[in-house]
């Protein structure tokens, strides 16, 4: 995908040139324009023509071939219908004209989103933390196509963004699950599971409480990943979520972590044997000195 700069005129209504001081993420749209020819290039042309005297604006319009930049990353665009959304996020419009392959266009938008989030310093896209639907800000039915599962649903879009980030710096958050997690539990390990389900767009809740809602979400995740959809988190579901399954794992104490290797004897002849002659001598002297002091 080529990214083409076709900036709207600076100082126009659509591009006031106001600096975005606090950019926290990306907001996704569908253009709402299903007319033939309403691709990325023509959207950018529009913001250089009549569209420059109006709002809304957007940073990028993406179709199956290119991403056209109308407003540069460091400037505010009015694309969310809310002050907060405009002041803190980049707007990416996915084209939905019939002459553009919407699957490829949406894939391109996922790739561009990953690039932008990586540039902001993130290693993972998290819905409602750094990746938003227009709907999250104003309640508008946008991105209208993704919200209808065209060409795929939102959680797939978020996964695709993360897939691109994986290629560069994305690391799944490491966590360990030590026992089966299921409905009815209030368990700290459930937080690991729900955090990642949230990051993948399956739920909005990061919680320790495994209730019926979380069970439903787990089943949905399992179904989409070819696992037995029983709503119980065991080894396979843990691993599919990027975690480690280890029933024998003992969490290290949080306060005063041990400074020695656990298999290292603390005292005794074995330690002395490993010391050089020089160190042995010194150890014995110090030992003696301590005894004298005591
Ligand atoms: Zn929108």
* pTM for the whole structure: 0.61
CA of 73 to the centre of ligand 1 (A): 17
pLDDT in tens, 154-188: 999 999 999 888 654 444 456 889 999 999 999 99
Q: Region 280-288: what's the mean pLDDT? A: 56
CA of 182 to the centre of ligand 1 (A): 38
pLDDT in tens, 212-244: 999 999 999 999 888 999 999 999 999 888 888
CA of 146 to the centre of ligand 1 (A): 11
- Distance between CA atoms of residues 265 and 269, nearest Å: 9
**Would you identify the CATH topology of the domain 176-245?**
Muramoyl-pentapeptide Carboxypeptidase; domain 1 (1.10.101)
- Distance between CA atoms of residues 7 and 186, nearest Å: 52
pLDDT of residue 250: 78
Pair type for strands 25-30 and 131-133: parallel
- Distance between CA atoms of residues 237 and 219, nearest Å: 10
| HEC assignment per residue over 240-255 | HCCCEECCCCCCCCCC
Structural domain boundaries in the chain:
2-167, 176-245, 261-294
- Distance between CA atoms of residues 178 and 189, nearest Å: 8
The secondary structure element, H or E, covering residue 61 is strand 60-62
pLDDT of residue 284: 59
**Residue owning tokens 């001598």:** 281
- Distance between CA atoms of residues 90 and 94, nearest Å: 13
Tokens of 165: 């980030």
**First vs last C-alpha separation in the chain:** 75
CA of 142 to the centre of ligand 1 (A): 5
Q: Which of 248, 225, 226 is nearest to 176 (CA)?
A: 248
CA of 224 to the centre of ligand 1 (A): 27
pLDDT bin (cut points 50, 70, 90) of residue 1 is confident
CA of 257 to the centre of ligand 1 (A): 50
CA of 167 to the centre of ligand 1 (A): 28
Residue 90 pLDDT greater than 90, yes or no: yes
- Distance between CA atoms of residues 88 and 65, nearest Å: 27
For residue 219, CA distances in Å to 116, 119, 150, 240 come to 32, 34, 22, 13
CA of 40 to the centre of ligand 1 (A): 15
The CATH architecture to which 2-167 belongs is 3-Layer(aba) Sandwich (3.40)
pLDDT of residue 175: 84
**pLDDT over 70, % of the chain:** 82
pLDDT in tens, 24-52: 999 999 999 999 999 999 999 999 999 99
Q: Under a CB-based contact definition with an 8 Å cutoff, are residues 89 and 80 in contact?
A: yes
- Distance between CA atoms of residues 227 and 220, nearest Å: 10
CA of 145 to the centre of ligand 1 (A): 11
CA of 31 to the centre of ligand 1 (A): 7
Q: Which of 176, 188, 173 is nearest to 235 (CA)?
A: 176
Q: Which residues have C-beta within 8 Å of that of residue 136, sequence separation ≥ 6?
A: 27, 85, 128
């Amino acid at each position: 995908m080529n990214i083409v700069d076709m900036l709207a005129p600076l100082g126009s209504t659509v591009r006031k040139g106001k600096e975005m001081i606090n950019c926290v993420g990306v907001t996704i749209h569908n253009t709402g324009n299903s007319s033939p020819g309403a691709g990325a290039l023509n959207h950018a042309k529009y913001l250089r023509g009549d569209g420059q005297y109006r709002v809304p604006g957007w940073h990028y319009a993406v179709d199956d071939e290119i991403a056209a930049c109308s407003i540069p990353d460091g400037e505010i665009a009015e694309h969310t219908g809310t002050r907060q959304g405009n002041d803190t996020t980049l707007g990416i419009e996915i084209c939905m004209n019939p002459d553009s392959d919407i699957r490829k266009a949406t894939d391109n938008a996922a790739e561009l989103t990953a690039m932008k989030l990586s540039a902001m310093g993130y290693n993972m896209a998290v819905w409602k933390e750094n990746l938003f639907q227009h709907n999250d800000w104003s309640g508008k039915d946008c991105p209208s196509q993704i919200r209808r599962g065209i060409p795929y649903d939102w959680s797939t879009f978020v996964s695709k963004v993360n897939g691109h980030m994986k290629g560069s710096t994305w690391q799944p958050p490491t966590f360990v699950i030590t026992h089966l997690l299921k409905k009815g539990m209030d368990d700290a390990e459930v937080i690991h599971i729900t955090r990642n389900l949230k990051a993948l767009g399956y739920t909005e809740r990061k919680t320790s409480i495994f209730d019926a809602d979380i069970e439903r979400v787990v089943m949905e995740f399992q179904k989409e990943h070819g696992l037995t959809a029983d709503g119980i988190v065991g080894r396979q579901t843990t691993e599919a979520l990027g975690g480690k399954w280890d029933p024998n794992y003992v969490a290290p104490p949080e306060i005063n972590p041990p400074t020695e290797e656990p298999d290292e004897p603390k005292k005794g002849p074995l330690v002395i044997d490993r010391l050089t002659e020089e160190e042995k001598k010194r150890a014995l002297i110090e030992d003696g000195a301590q005894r004298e002091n005591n």
